[in-house]
Amino acid sequence: MSNGGHGLASGGPDDGGPDDGGPDDGGPDDGGRAQETAFTALLEDNAEDLYENAPCGYLCTLLDGQIAKINTTLLTWLGYTRDQLVGRRYFSDLLTVGGRLYHETHFAPLLSMQGEIGGVALELQAADGTRLPVLVSSAVKASAAGEALLIRTTIFDARDRRAYERELLRARQEAEHERERLQRLVTTLQRSLLPPALPAVPGLEAAAHYRIASLDQVGGDFYDLFPLSRDRWGLFLGDVCGKGAHAAAVTSLIRYTLRAAAVYDDDPGTVLSTLNAALRQEYLRDDRDFCTAIFGVLNPHGNGFTLSLASGGHPAPLLLRANGTAGYQPTPGGPLIGVFDDVTYAATTIRLDPGDTLLLYTDGLTDARTGTGNGRYGDEALHTLARNLAPTTATAAITAITALLDSYSEGLDDDTAVLALSVPSRAGKPQRPAELPPGTMAIGAIGAIG
């Protein structure tokens, strides 16, 4: 405002302003005259004129909303005369009916409680019935003693902005629908990559839990328990590097490779070598596709089972013994699967006696952020949990792990799969696995409790 620019209109009232105002004394040229007029306009501009003709509406009401003062700009927008409104109408009379409801239930109470409210989108109704989208801000004017006296309201024309906001709102609603669709798709795909329920293995109790870290992406963890023959059972659990559609494709390949490989030769080391070869062939172009996995074969033996196990770079399982001890079961096996050519994996055998429980898990569990500092849950804490649980059962162990995961819901960065096998301590009927609890996928977890 310091210098009247040439851009200012020169058509205003001209009552012969100070003629020494122009910088150019030798006969006012066009530029000089414009500057002179602008200067005059500035001198004449006063608070009253600003109030009346400001580029926004001004409204002053009594505390009950009755209109006491209104500026020319707002009168022009609305098509009313001053006499039609002042002392006769209320602010809410200027609103659409829906806006009036909003005003009474939100705007007026907030203004009363806070003394001010800003940027509320409403629609004014003009005298001819047309609607004007506006943004309204109000403040209560109080006396020096703090007593509320009047309400001052500023009203901005928001036609363009409202059209833009409607677009945003529509886009947002569309995005929400898309997200719902995506989550349904992910849920369906995820289910297809996991056994719908664990089979009943005579003399064995089995339970599993799967937790997806994100509802928007298919997880890369997998597990299965399946019959190899009448009294031999295969099982595996593993973790594909990455997540999303690509990881889902790799997971699918791994599942079917493992099951098919075990049909020809169910030595766990051989099965993992076959998987390694298949991953190397299939994804030769992209050497980032690898996984960790544990593969095992269960054979009934006396009151319990022998379990032949091989691991490809996977965290060691935990064995919770009937005598109350618990420890990691080293499974040397071999390296990550899908990284090197011609790898061999060595199998080890462990015994599961009545009362023993074996816990297989992916590193989503031990990597869960515990919320205290940057700490992760870790192997040590899991070992302690196992010691406290032992002796236990597959179902009880999975229940405990599920509760643990629930408590770290915010701290789960990675998907988590847990598979537990236990031999009931008293010889009994084979344990029937329960169906998937309905709706568990909706909250980000699949549980198959045996």
Partner 1 sequence: MGGSNARGRNNVVLMGRAGRPAVMLANGFGCDQNMWRLVAPGLARDFRVVLFDHVGSGRSELSAWRPEQYATLDGYADDVLRICRELQLRQVIFVGHSVSAMMGVLAAAREPEQFGKLILLCPSPRYVDDTGYRGGFSRPDIDELLESLDSNYLGWSAAMAPVIMGNPGRPELAEELANSFCRTDPQIARAFARTTFLSDNRADLARVTVPTLVLQCSRDVIAPPEVGAFVHAQIPGSSLVILPATGHCPQLSAPEATLGAIAAFAAGPP
Q: State residue 118 phi and psi, 5-degree precision.
A: -130, 150
CB of 312 to partner 1, least distance (A): 40
The Cα–Cα gap between 218 and 251 comes to 10
Which helix (H) or strand (E) is 43 found in, with range? helix 30-44
Looking at the Cβ atoms of 105 and 407, the one nearer to partner 1 is: 105
Looking at the Cβ atoms of 1 and 113, the one nearer to partner 1 is: 113
What dihedral do alpha carbons 214, 216, 220, 224 form, nearest 10°?
A: 90
CB of 97 to partner 1, least distance (A): 4
Report whether 343 contacts 276 (CB < 8 A).
yes
Start-end of H helices in 266-393: 268-282, 363-366, 378-389
Looking at the Cβ atoms of 14 and 104, the one nearer to partner 1 is: 104
Q: Which of 253, 389, 205, 237 is nearest to 317 (CA)?
A: 237
CB of 108 to partner 1, least distance (A): 6
CB of 107 to partner 1, least distance (A): 9
CB of 116 to partner 1, least distance (A): 9
- How many other C-beta atoms are found inside a 10 Å radius of the C-beta of residue 227? 12
Looking at the Cβ atoms of 113 and 284, the one nearer to partner 1 is: 113
Q: Which of 370, 359, 373 is nearest to 409 (CA)?
A: 370
Looking at the Cβ atoms of 117 and 225, the one nearer to partner 1 is: 117
Looking at the Cβ atoms of 158 and 272, the one nearer to partner 1 is: 158
Q: Which residues of 393-410 are buried (b: 16+ CB within 10 A; e: fewer)?
A: bbbbbbbbbbebbeebee
Looking at the Cβ atoms of 125 and 299, the one nearer to partner 1 is: 125
Please give the C-alpha separations between residue 420 and each of 145, 399, 404, 405, in angstroms, as whole numbers: 72, 10, 15, 15
- Residue carrying the six token digits 């806070």: 114
Between β-strands 131-142 and 116-125, what pairing exists: parallel, antiparallel or unpaired?
antiparallel
Report whether 315 contacts 367 (CB < 8 A).
no
| DSSP 3-state of 67 | strand
CB of 69 to partner 1, least distance (A): 18
The Cα–Cα gap between 85 and 71 comes to 11
CB of 166 to partner 1, least distance (A): 8
Amino acid, single-letter form, for residue 284: L
Looking at the Cβ atoms of 79 and 371, the one nearer to partner 1 is: 371
Looking at the Cβ atoms of 33 and 89, the one nearer to partner 1 is: 89
The Cα–Cα gap between 169 and 178 comes to 14
The Cα–Cα gap between 176 and 158 comes to 26
CB of 284 to partner 1, least distance (A): 43
Looking at the Cβ atoms of 136 and 417, the one nearer to partner 1 is: 136
Q: In what order do the strands lie in the sheet containing 304-312?
A: 221-229, 232-240, 291-301, 304-312, 348-352
Residue 231: left (phi > 0), alpha (psi -120 to 50), or beta? alpha
CB of 114 to partner 1, least distance (A): 7
Site residues, partner 1 (CB under 8 A): 63-66, 90, 92, 96-102, 104-106, 108-110, 112-114, 117, 120-122, 162, 165-166, 169
Looking at the Cβ atoms of 114 and 325, the one nearer to partner 1 is: 114
CB of 281 to partner 1, least distance (A): 45
CB of 106 to partner 1, least distance (A): 5
